């Protein structure tokens, strides 16, 4: 369980081999926490832009936290699908970050870059979690579904890196 615990407690649970976060659900929970952090940075950056972007980012943060708090599933296909959901949430948060990237506000720009880096970690980690579970998925349709779900991850990672590069260029002007 991640909710209601201090950061120190969560990190300790990741460092300790167990059945909780840091055990079977560790990579997915870690990826989901990266996604939640990224969405939180998007929400903060969105505050300088106005509109509904902040609300959307808050919903994505909540969705990521729910995925982080979810129990480990013994069925490999179900566990892999939970990691795919993390990828989907992170990708949506990245799209939002791309739309709220501010012009001229360095503090908000730094938040966008921080979001991009956290979201890049989220999708990369979640993809590895899917691949770990794929080894035990024997149903061809399930394997195909999961492989298709992780196929766009390289593009998402590249988008995140480009967003960080754009922000860095903006800051150095």
Count the Cβ atoms, other than its own, within 10 Å of residue 110: 17
Does a structural domain hold residue 43? yes
Instruction: Give the whole-angstrom CA distance, residue 163 versus residue 80.
Output: 27
pLDDT(24) > 50: no
Does a structural domain hold residue 126? yes
Residue 41 falls in which region: left (phi positive, over 0), alpha (psi -120 to 50) or beta: alpha
Which pLDDT does position 20 carry in this prediction?
44
| Token pair listed for 47 | 């505050």
DSSP H helices, 48-105, are 53-69, 76-100
Total domains present in the chain? 1
pLDDT (mean) for 142-163: 97
Range of the domain at 48: 7-171
Instruction: Give the whole-angstrom CA distance, residue 140 versus residue 143.
Output: 5
Which pLDDT does position 25 carry in this prediction?
52
Instruction: Give the whole-angstrom CA distance, residue 119 versus residue 50.
Output: 22
Does a structural domain hold residue 1? no
Does a structural domain hold residue 76? yes
Which pLDDT does position 104 carry in this prediction?
53
Which pLDDT does position 103 carry in this prediction?
59
* Residue partners of 77: CB distance under 8 A and separation at least 6: 133, 137, 139, 142, 146
**Centroid of chain to Cα 170:** 24
pLDDT per position as a tens digit, 73-95: 778 999 999 999 999 999 999 99
Which pLDDT does position 125 carry in this prediction?
97
Q: What is the CATH number of the domain that holds 151?
A: 1.20.120.680
pLDDT(127) > 80: yes
Does a structural domain hold residue 2? no
């Amino acid at each position: 369980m991640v909710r209601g615990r201090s950061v120190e407690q969560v990190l300790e649970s990741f460092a300790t081999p167990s059945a909780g976060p840091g055990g079977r659900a560790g990579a997915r929970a870690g990826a989901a926490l990266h996604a939640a952090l990224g969405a939180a940075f998007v929400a903060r950056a969105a505050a300088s832009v106005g509109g509904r972007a902040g609300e959307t980012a808050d919903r994505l943060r909540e969705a990521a936290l729910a995925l982080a708090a979810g129990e480990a599933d013994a069925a490999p296909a179900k566990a892999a699908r939970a990691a795919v959901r993390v990828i989907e949430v992170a990708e949506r948060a990245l799209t939002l970050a791309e739309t709220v990237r501010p012009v001229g506000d360095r503090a908000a720009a730094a938040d966008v870059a921080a979001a991009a880096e956290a979201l890049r970690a989220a999708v990369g980690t979640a993809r590895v979690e899917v691949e770990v579970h794929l080894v035990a998925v024997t149903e061809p349709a399930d394997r195909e579904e999961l492989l298709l779900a992780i196929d766009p991850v390289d593009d998402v990672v590249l988008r995140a890196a480009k967003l960080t590069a754009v922000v860095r260029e903006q800051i150095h002007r």
